Chain A
């Protein structure tokens, strides 16, 4: 008599959490459903119950990781009360983010899979909305001078993506502190402001 898969006892978050770890470590292509199942202390059927394919699992895993990222970011931003500090906190969160490997997986697979391309678009829309909200608040408060927030948001998002790739590759010339410096340099230019030198870690 074969055992019934205990799907009702396994919660989705457990599986997603395991998927994030396994995919980050092995890459999607080398990730088997069985690997995720083992990491989540369930059976392959338990994983497949929720996610019918590896690609769907990738999209869901990154979404789950991003949910966690935004929760932490939200907590951090709630402690700050001016747009400049919030903007710097946003940059720091992005640089310190653990999701970059998953993003790169998603980008690569989006090249050939329209469903993943749509998932990427949704996740990117969310990230850009986060950036834009801080820009708009800064414009409203007079801290930032931005004529076209949509364009500046895209510039910053693209800059961060490009730098994150080099940092994720362990390029010494774009270490996390250097990435931070470059982001803040460009940000000052496009936001029409200076960001607090004390916060920037350079001698005033």
Chain B
């Protein structure tokens, strides 16, 4: 383990890791935290630097502009989340497809805490990607990764006989879009849509489509 950089404080990275996070990772992580707490427009390099325990000069060393930092922070956050969610070893998969799908639904919605924080960043990414063509390929790739993962879970359910022989890609499309739409409403504290209702609504839509009892998608 390398010694901390001069002037840097050793901060708890927040999750167990084999090696101490690099300065660049700490900067990205700090930026993500400040985006979620202050809103992307209010994030200042100086505050990111302080939080990461580095100098502003070091931040500028890694990120030429504030916009570069913010963009990379968003992408960093999603790539980490994707690895965690989609990177499971097929050999370790013991759950039935129905349970995996139920869990996918639950973890895809903005549950309080880390999940909600990630959702705020997701919405901020939408806002930037609709206007900045350079972000669009990455955003599309993130969606595609998610879509493939959902389709794979659905395919597994078809093969195991849990689900009817639907088109996995088509159902994944429906699921993704409605998860985004309902998740957004729950995040916005829409009086018509809280998390519990969002889960029931999605289960009520996907259940019949897959030929399973919606209650099985609520576990």
Contacts and interface: CB of A to CB of B under 8 A. Distances in A.
Contact of B120 (A100, A111, A155, A165): A111
B185 A166 contact: no
A165 B41 contact: no
A29 to B, nearest CB: 5
B93 interface: no
B61 interface: no
B interface, size bucket = 35 or more
B192 A108 contact: no
Given A108-B127, A162-B176, A172 B209 contact: no
Nearest to B191: A121
Given A151-B201, A154-B201, A173-B147, A120 B173 contact: no
A173 B143 contact: yes
B177 A162 contact: yes
B140 interface: yes
Contacts of A29: 41
A interface, size bucket = 35 or more
Interface of B: 39, 41, 120, 123-124, 126-127, 129-131, 133, 136, 139-140, 143-144, 147, 170, 173-174, 176-182, 184-185, 187-193, 201, 204-205, 208-209
Given A101-B131, A121-B190, A162-B179, 5 more contacts: A108-B123, A163-B177, A165-B130, A165-B180, A174-B177
28 contacts: A27-B131, A29-B41, A104-B127, A107-B188, A108-B123, A108-B127, A117-B189, A121-B191, A154-B182, A154-B192, A154-B193, A155-B178, A158-B178, A158-B184, A158-B193, A162-B180, A168-B130, A169-B139, A170-B140, A171-B136, A171-B139, A171-B140, A174-B177, A182-B170, A185-B170, A186-B174, A186-B205, A190-B205
